[in-house]
Structure 1
Amino acid sequence: MKINKKDLTFFHLLVAPGVLVLLLFSYLPMFGIVIAFQNFNPSKGFIFSEWVGFEHVRFLFELPDTMGTIRNTIEISLMKIVAGLVVPVVFALFLNEARIMWFKRTVQSLVYLPHFLSWVILGGILVDVLSINGGAFNQALQSVGIPPIFFFGDEFWFRIMIVVSDVWKEFGFSTIVYLAALTGINPALYEAAAIDGATRWKRTLYITIPGILPVIVLMSTLSLGNVLNAGFDQIFNLYNPMVISSTDIIDTYIYRMGLIQAQYGLATAIGLIKSVIGFVLIVISYRLASRYANYRIF
């Protein structure tokens, strides 16, 4: 079959805007990595700023807040990853058992909707609902004699709120992935198991879960690349000085160092370290996905 070069040119033109955006906003800014090794001065630019080598990296680990920030990032990320894997699987299994199609589709659409909302909007909703002064949730607790919970001032409850709200926002998207995997299971397996007298629970345990296990393994391994991404948008819109010691993450640390305190070199060094570690974790996760879930990109 002969390829028409005019058709290829048309498709290349379609791809060109996306490639241009990728180059401008993803690859071109990489030259800014040199700021991590400079005492960067915006008035002097990249060329004339003083070169300090690895001084920012050394100074970074001498700061008292650095290790606490890294620990917070890993702890919050792991909690989100575990909850973000368990909840969608359980919900997909329950939703898959629904036999009324309009109900199943409605619920699926409703749980998917929060995925499209920004944390600016959801942050305002959470403040209104969970506020200790007039929040709907705390008013409901007080109506049954339970003391109100200071979600935005108690470090323990703030972390719980962060994890739960993140799962609520994103589990609908993951649920769709697992529902799609459930459709790939051969119905004959269920029919044979039912004839043999297997209960619905036994069919779920020995047919459904093993049937979607490769997808669960795949999603688990790919999530390793997000260990250092605890969710800047969410935490930045919700945290405050009362809980900053337990919820300050790498991204908010970079924001304060770079944009608030104008320590550009130090902030870039933190971001570079995070990017290098994240790249290594992504490579490891893809290796694991290729080995245990037969998932390959290249």
Structure 2
Amino acid sequence: MTNLPLALLNIQQGWSSDFDFTRFGDVFADVSDPPALIMINEAVQWWANLGRGKYAAALALSRMFGVHYAIEIGWLDRSDHPPALVYDTARLQLTAWANEHSCTNTALRNTAEFVLADSGKGPSDPPDLRVRLQHFHFSSATRRLAEAEILAAQARQDVPTIVAGDLNATASGPHLPDRDWDRVRERAPQRLRRKAWQPGGAGTPWVADTRAVDTLIGAWNPETGQREDNPGLYALAEDDWHQRGARPDDTLVGTTNTRGERDGGLLIDWILRNELVELVPDTYRVHIPAPGRQHTDHRLVTATVQMSASRS
């Protein structure tokens, strides 16, 4: 098996006001193993001005970790907040990248295929890894559910696959961090529908809307203590929880930097895998920034995975 360190980060507005990527030093301050893949949401305007933003980001990361990173910018239909894919060329060679120029099927865009750099394989060979970047709608639960349903229908087990991004929703289960939705309703009722819903209709309690993520990894059955109807994707956060003993009181760490007095953050930044990928024990981590060094509204997520051989 091949080990690959991964990183996922939503950069608020892509730091596009000044493209000061020295902030990476604070964000990755406690990351010693250079990620083979860095998956980024909100690469705002990184494509503009001859791509100076994206190349500045890749150069800053390359210098910081001492490896050569290449970068691709993806596509988003609703705004100029596309994802970006950064990869270590000494470990991975890109053989396919689906964006608005190379792929007419919008459901397949932001998909990359790689071969291992030392494999001797090329674009005509089966890929060693498939990566699908996602950024679900920030305010519409209906859109998120539709995006998840399309993605779940495409879950395949032919190639080791990683699905990663800001899904803007949490999942069901007592071990997932939640919010006091009554307090949200009192403070900012217009925000309720962004992450919550009333499954019982008007007059009934507001609860976290978990339908989109549950569509991808299966809904939690409180009687069995397991997820059901999984389409073939698994969350690294939950893999780590199982490796730690799967205690119901062992609440997973939220991935947003929401202040405690605002009920804390939810786990909405997800790295998912298919059955050909495994989480290396004790490697999943949500990095909580040091005081005064919070440069984005989301936290860095890192993990190391092992890949099995592709199925022919």
Query: Based on CA coordinates, which of the two structures has the bigger radius of gyration?
Result: 1
Higher relative contact order (CA 8 A, sep 6+): 1
TM-score bucket of the superposed structures, by smaller chain: under 0.3
More helix by proportion, 1 or 2? 1
